[in-house]
Amino acid sequence: MEQALQWVSESARPSGGAVVLAQQVLRAEVSVDVALEQVAELVLAEPRVGAVAVALTTFEPADEKPWVHLGGRAWLRQWVRPGSPCTVLPGRGAGPQDALTMPWVSQRSRRSIVVLPDAEQLPADAGQDAQELARCHIAAALSTALLADGSMFGSISVGSEDAGPWPETLVADVRLLSAAITSRMASEAARRSLADAIVRGDQASAVQQQFFAATGHELRTPISAVLGFAEVLQSDAEDLAQVDDVPRLTDFVAQVHKDAGIIIGAGEQLLAIVEDLLSTSRLLGDGAREPVVVAEAVRDVAHWVSTPAAAAGVEVVVDVDRELVVEATASGVRQVLTNLVGNAVTHNRPGGSVTVTASPTRGEGGEARVRISVKDTGPGLTPRQLSQVFEPFVRFAEPGVRGTGLGLSLARSVAERDGGRLGVDSRPGEGSTFWIDLPAPLA
């Protein structure tokens, strides 16, 4: 045990109130929000305590009003004893960068509860922790992570303006209650993930039905054109088979030339749709998932689109950490990114840019994921367009820009096959950012 920390035996007995509250939490007799409030009230009953703070990272509170939202999925709330100078809340308009980091304490709180009786006794390598505690008027602290099976839900911290040893009963209370809260959060996260999976399954079924209905409609249109014009040409040819009238034959040749162009156009549209469907079908059955280095996949895609990007006067910028890895099919990742980056180039403006970035994130259940974002400087999408952008055969391209309208719909299918999600953020006149979330390999 490090000298700056107070050792408290695992056999230290919690108070009766903590035992009763832990039972209520585990039996789901109170909500997580209420449980956290009751934990704070119980801990604040100890005269030594000046403040209790709870940080949530991958578990959003049911009622957001009492919490400070630090951006993304970071939430902070504190309870302070009247008259205590202790406070961990940042100022108004604060973001995640303004929250306490406490690197030395945080690292140790992931393994067990940290019991710090005197912040001035922290070692030299904990200088940042000491400065942050002093700024918050905290001289002694308890801190423990809400961590279960690799999923970090947040943390519970207790502060005092006075240095000195912590009562073992209070430490045991915090230890017991944090374990109960963590167990409850893990159960809630699993339930939410299951409910989300059911909803997504229903949505996938509805999307599949819509896709096949739209595909049938879109295939019927060019097929009808091909058959209709071919039948007319066949009928006219039969009528003129025994005719020597040169003017009529000349008119027929001109009509054939005109109608043949329509037939060819319809045939090319049919071929493009079939090729999109076949290529996606191959991808959907293309091998098992494996670790894919994001930077390498993005580099390949940037190379593939370099020629059309140069022709369109659009700059493609890549800023991706070489350490980021996803668990997916290599061909699937590249296919989805090719669609997103290609669209960003096609629907951009001359002199515009496309920026590809990636960052680690967390899923609904707290699992590690990576988000790859493709941001363009194009015209952006209206709310109506946003609601339809992933529907099959929906296109917002300028006249003359070829395509089937299947790209994003099929890209979504490939992404979901790999356990990913495809989404977009956009406003008219401000460009669009399409993103794909993919699972990271298990540690």
Q: What is the pLDDT of residues 300-343, one digit of tens each?
A: 989 888 888 998 899 999 999 999 999 988 888 888 898 899 88
Query: Who contacts 31 (Cβ-Cβ below 8 Å, separation ≥6)?
Result: 62
pLDDT band per the 50, 70, 90 thresholds, residue 275: low
pLDDT tens per residue, range 156-166: 999 999 999 99
Q: Is the pLDDT of residue 93 over 60?
A: no
**Cα dihedral 104, 109, 112, 114 in deg (nearest 10):** 70
What average pLDDT does the segment 354-375 reach? Answer: 85
Which of residues 263 and 199 earns the better pLDDT score? 263
Which of residues 205 and 249 earns the better pLDDT score? 249
Neighbours of 94 (CB within 10 A): 15
CB 344 within 8 A of CB 378: yes
CATH code: domain 16-195 is 3.30.450.40
CB 32 within 8 A of CB 177: no
DSSP state of 90: -
pLDDT on residue 265: 67
Element containing residue 220 per DSSP (H, E)? helix 168-239
Highest mean pLDDT among 198-207, 273-282, 361-370: 361-370
pLDDT band per the 50, 70, 90 thresholds, residue 1: very low
Helices (H), 285-402: 294-304, 306-312, 330-346, 383-388
Neighbours of 138 (CB within 10 A): 27
Q: Is the pLDDT of residue 287 over 70?
A: no
- Return the structure tokens found at 1: 């045990």
pLDDT on residue 293: 93
Query: Who contacts 296 (Cβ-Cβ below 8 Å, separation ≥6)?
Result: none
Domain with CATH 3.30.565.10 in the chain: 288-443
CATH code: domain 288-443 is 3.30.565.10
Mean pLDDT of the chain: 82
Burial (CB < 10 A; 0-12, 13-18, 19+), residue 322, is exposed
CB 418 within 8 A of CB 441: no
pLDDT band per the 50, 70, 90 thresholds, residue 13: very high
Neighbours of 48 (CB within 10 A): 16
Q: Is the pLDDT of residue 65 over 70?
A: yes
Helices (H), 347-435: 383-388, 407-417
For the chain, count helices (H), then strands (E).
Answer: 11, 13
CB 138 within 8 A of CB 89: no
- Return the structure tokens found at 132: 């942050």
Given CA atoms 290, 293, 298, 299 in this order, what sign does their dihedral have? negative
Domain with CATH 3.30.450.40 in the chain: 16-195
Burial (CB < 10 A; 0-12, 13-18, 19+), residue 429, is exposed
pLDDT on residue 165: 95
- Return the structure tokens found at 15: 């108070």
When mean pLDDT is compared across 30-34, 83-87, 198-202, 246-250, the lowest value belongs to 198-202
